[in-house]
Chain A
Amino acid sequence: QITLKESGPTLVKPTQTLTLTCTFSGFSLSTSGVGVGWIRQPPGEALEWLALIFWSDERRYSPSLNSRLTITKDTSKNQVVLTMTNMDPVDTATYYCAHRRTAVADFFDYWGQGTLVTVSS
């Protein structure tokens, strides 16, 4: 079955760079149609899509955060990494990685449990 798990720091300081890793199983990012996305959710607020990477290495980013985000994949390790530069307290949120419905469309059918990242000095 498909599982995803996010890992990374729980606390980062303002201006630092956040690096989050999504480790998954049950699918391969070398298979045509597969994609993994990142979505975040500030405490008590709505979901915000951040980025998506496809099996082909095509990458899509939220335009509002494009200059700060980088998404990469390591197919051999079954991992997707998201980096976000110049962190600010408003970036405090639970960050989720999620599996894109394969070869269908960009909605997400499996999600990790999420990791809460707090930005504070």
Chain B
Amino acid sequence: DIGMTQSPDSLAVSLGERATINCKSSQSVLNSSNNKNYLAWYQQKPGQPPKLLIYWASTRESGVPDRFSGSGSGTDFTLSISSLQAEDVAVYYCQQHYSTPYTFGQGTKLEI
């Protein structure tokens, strides 16, 4: 299994400031045949299902504000929120879909 480790477990950021969440996989999730990283990011607010934010490590899902961005390759990835808004308070998860079992990180709780 590919292990996914996020850091930090929780994070407090002021409104308007930048938030950065890291995700590290125990094996590379880069597919050399298409040069794509099989890494997605989700946002989960209390009482709600996860919402897809980013896929292919850096492609923003339609409708997701451009303050959200993803970067990284191979085993090290980052989700950044450029200017934190109150509605961004949530738990964020990374997921590798490179190989089964598809695994998620433990989550990072983002607070104001």
Contacts and interface: CB of A to CB of B under 8 A. Distances in A.
Please say whether chains A and B are actual partners in one complex.
yes
Interface of A: 46-49, 52, 60-64, 96, 98, 101, 104-109, 111-114
A44 to B, nearest CB: 10
B17 interface: no
B77 interface: no
B93 A109 contact: no
A107 B93 contact: no
B102 A49 contact: yes
Interface of B: 1, 36, 38, 40, 42, 48-52, 55-56, 61, 93, 95, 97, 100-107
Q: Is the interface of B mostly helix, strand, loop or mixed?
A: loop
A101 B93 contact: no
A46 B100 contact: no
Contacts of A98: 49
Given A48-B104, A49-B102, A49-B103, A107 B52 contact: yes
Given A101-B55, A105-B38, A62 B101 contact: yes
Given A101-B55, A114-B49, A47 B104 contact: yes
Contacts of B105: 46
Given A46-B107, A48-B104, A49-B103, A107 B49 contact: no
B106 A109 contact: no
Nearest to A63: B101
14 contacts: A46-B107, A47-B50, A47-B95, A49-B103, A61-B100, A62-B100, A64-B101, A104-B55, A105-B36, A105-B97, A108-B50, A108-B52, A111-B51, A114-B49
Contacts of B40: 107-108
A109 B107 CA distance: 18
Residue of A48, A60, A101, A106 with most chain B CB atoms under a 10 A cut-off: A106
Contacts of A108: 40, 50, 52
